[in-house]
């Protein structure tokens, strides 16, 4: 399943709204990128997962202890979160959307992502109307247990510093940023990895005093789509089938490209290679045996009938030569009427007197004969060594040439 990653604008959707987009076939490498209005985005057909990225400036993060009995699927989850975060929120809870961490459990400590409800809903509905239905909603920056890391993004007029780590933040990049970093993290921030988008790399070096590693915006958005977070919860949650399909697609991308699965991929490839090689070897052996048998039959034909110079269909040609030999010598063929009547008279009970005979080469139909099951079985056993097969059809006994002795 390929990806279409869309960055959600900070404002409400409108005629002038546009989305920075990235496509990827494997979830690891950028296939294409650009910026367009919702209706002009790359198509999201079958096999394409659309991922919406919420900007870091549009999210706030809160750590809460969930009460016992309140988990991700609890019907009282929203009301509980509103009560727990009431003193930390600047807006009314009814105006906000809440999303739990992917590993949240009832009674456990977890992170909660909060954003404007009307803003997020409007963008998701606008993309649905443009036939780009969103399967996942991910944060641009999510909390994790890694060490502090810094990323400078945006445009020279409005640079932004993303502080990643246990407590993610989005800060404006200006003269006071260094003081804020020092007050919050001490000297640890000077040792943190620093990345910057090309447009703001010079500003990052100027304000932070370090040379950043360059990071393309498309690569950063694609990396954000790989998080386990999904903000599509509550009223924005997709159907169970969509979630299952999404998880299967993510699992396949992980298996196909994650370094930790490389030994398993090699093992599977070797297993498939061995299977294909085994099938080809078996097919080669079968073809060789069949060719050898055909050679034996052809050799028997040419040795028995030296006048046959070209072998096209050995069994058919041999039958014709045997029939011609019988005709030339006056010997009766098992397909002749006399031979079939003789076999019938010798092997079948004399008390079975027929009322009529119908003959065609190789088949003798005897009417007016009623054979018991035991008599039929006995007659078949006696006729089979002679090369005949005995059946019953429409009240008549039918003797056919061609049984294997």
Query: Residues 312-367: pLDDT tens digits?
Result: 777 777 777 776 766 666 556 677 777 788 877 877 665 667 888 888 888 888 88
Average pLDDT over residues 198-204: 93
How does pLDDT run across 98-142, given as a tens digit for each residue? 999 999 999 899 999 999 999 999 999 999 999 999 999 999 999
| pLDDT(69) > 70 | yes
Euclidean distance between the first and the last CA atom of the chain, given in angstroms as a whole number = 61
Q: Max Cα separation, the chain?
A: 122
Rounded to whole angstroms, how far apart are CA atoms 160 and 309?
91
Main-chain dihedrals φ then ψ at residue 60, nearest 5 degrees: -125, 150
| pLDDT(275) > 60 | yes
**Model pLDDT, residue 250:** 55
Average pLDDT over residues 303-320: 77
| Strand 109-116 to 60-65 pairing | antiparallel
Contact 224, 53 (CB under 8 A): yes
Burial of 11 (0-12, 13-18, 19+ CB in 10 A): exposed
How does pLDDT run across 8-63, given as a tens digit for each residue? 999 999 888 899 999 998 888 999 999 999 999 999 888 899 999 999 999 999 99
Residue 368 Cα to chain centre, angstroms: 65
Q: What integer best gives the mean pLDDT of the chain?
A: 85
Dihedral of the alpha carbons of 290, 292, 295, 296, in degrees to the nearest 10: -100
What are the boundaries of each domain within the chain? Answer: 2-142+227-257, 144-210, 260-331, 337-401
Dihedral of the alpha carbons of 353, 358, 364, 368, in degrees to the nearest 10: -30
| pLDDT(178) > 90 | no
Lowest mean pLDDT among 70-74, 76-80, 338-342: 338-342
CA atoms within 13 A on the CB side of 156: 7
Lowest mean pLDDT among 198-212, 251-265, 391-405: 251-265
- In the numeric block, the tokens 């009223």 are attached to 235
**Model pLDDT, residue 342:** 81
Residue 99 Cα to chain centre, angstroms: 29
- In the numeric block, the tokens 């046959």 are attached to 308
Cross-strand pairs, 2:
48
Contact 334, 401 (CB under 8 A): yes
Rounded to whole angstroms, how far apart are CA atoms 285 and 307?
33
pTM: 0.61
- Taking Cα atoms as reference points, which of 142, 122, 140, 143 lies closest to residue 236? 122
**Model pLDDT, residue 255:** 65
CATH hierarchy code of domain 2-142+227-257: 3.30.420.380
Rounded to whole angstroms, how far apart are CA atoms 100 and 81?
10
Rounded to whole angstroms, how far apart are CA atoms 28 and 13?
29
| pLDDT(247) > 60 | no
Dihedral of the alpha carbons of 279, 284, 287, 291, in degrees to the nearest 10: -170
Average pLDDT over residues 292-296: 83
* Strand arrangement of the beta sheet that strand 213-214 belongs to: 169-172, 158-164, 149-155, 194-196, 213-214
Residue 384 per-residue DSSP state: G
Average pLDDT over residues 71-86: 91
CATH hierarchy code of domain 337-401: 3.30.1360
Higher-confidence position of 266 and 312: 266
The pLDDT confidence band at residue 148, using thresholds 50, 70 and 90, is confident
CB neighbour list of residue 234: distance below 8 Å, 6 or more residues apart:
77, 78, 97, 98, 99
The pLDDT confidence band at residue 277, using thresholds 50, 70 and 90, is confident
CA atoms within 13 A on the CB side of 254: 11
Rounded to whole angstroms, how far apart are CA atoms 216 and 219?
5
Task: Provide the angle, in degrees to the nearest 10, between the axes of the packed helices 314-329 and 262-304.
Answer: 20
């Amino acid at each position: 399943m390929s990806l279409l990653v869309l960055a959600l604008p900070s404002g409400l959707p409108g005629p002038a709204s546009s989305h920075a987009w990235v496509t990827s076939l494997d979830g690891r490498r950028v296939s294409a990128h650009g910026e367009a209005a919702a209706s002009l985005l790359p198509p999201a057909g079958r096999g394409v997962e659309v991922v919406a990225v919420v900007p870091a400036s549009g999210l706030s993060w809160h750590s809460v202890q969930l009460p016992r009995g309140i988990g991700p699927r609890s019907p009282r989850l929203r009301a509980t979160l509103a009560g727990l975060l009431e003193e930390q929120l600047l807006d009314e809870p009814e105006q906000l959307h809440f999303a739990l961490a992917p590993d949240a459990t009832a009674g456990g400590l977890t992170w909660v992502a909060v954003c404007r409800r009307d803003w997020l809903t409007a963008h998701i509905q606008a993309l649905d109307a443009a036939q780009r239905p969103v399967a996942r909603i991910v944060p641009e920056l999510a909390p994790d247990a890694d060490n502090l890391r810094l990323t400078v993004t945006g445009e020279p007029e409005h640079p932004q510093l993303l502080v990643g780590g246990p407590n993610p933040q989005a800060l404006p990049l200006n003269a006071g940023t260094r003081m804020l970093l020092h007050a919050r993290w001490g000297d640890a921030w000077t040792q943190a990895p620093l990345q910057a988008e090309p447009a703001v790399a010079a500003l990052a070096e100027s304000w932070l005093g370090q040379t950043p590693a360059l990071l393309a915006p498309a690569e950063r958005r694609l990396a954000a789509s790989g998080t386990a977070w999904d903000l599509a919860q509550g009223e924005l949650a997709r159907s169970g089938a969509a979630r299952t399909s999404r998880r299967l697609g993510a699992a396949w991308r992980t298996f196909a490209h994650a370094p930790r699965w490389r030994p398993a991929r090699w093992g599977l490839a070797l297993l498939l290679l061995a299977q294909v090689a085994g099938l080809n070897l078996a097919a080669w052996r079968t073809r060789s045996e069949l060719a050898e048998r055909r050679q034996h039959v052809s050799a028997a034909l040419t040795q028995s009938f030296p006048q046959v110079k070209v072998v096209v269909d050995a069994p058919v040609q041999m039958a014709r030569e045997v029939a011609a030999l019988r005709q030339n010598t006056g010997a009766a063929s098992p397909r002749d009427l006399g031979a079939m009547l003789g076999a019938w008279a010798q092997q079948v009970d004399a008390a079975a007197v027929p009322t009529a005979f119908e003959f065609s080469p190789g088949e003798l139909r005897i009417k007016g004969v009623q054979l018991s099951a035991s008599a039929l079985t006995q007659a078949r056993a006696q006729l089979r060594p002679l090369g005949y097969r005995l059946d019953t059809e429409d009240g008549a006994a039918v003797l056919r040439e061609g049984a294997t002795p």
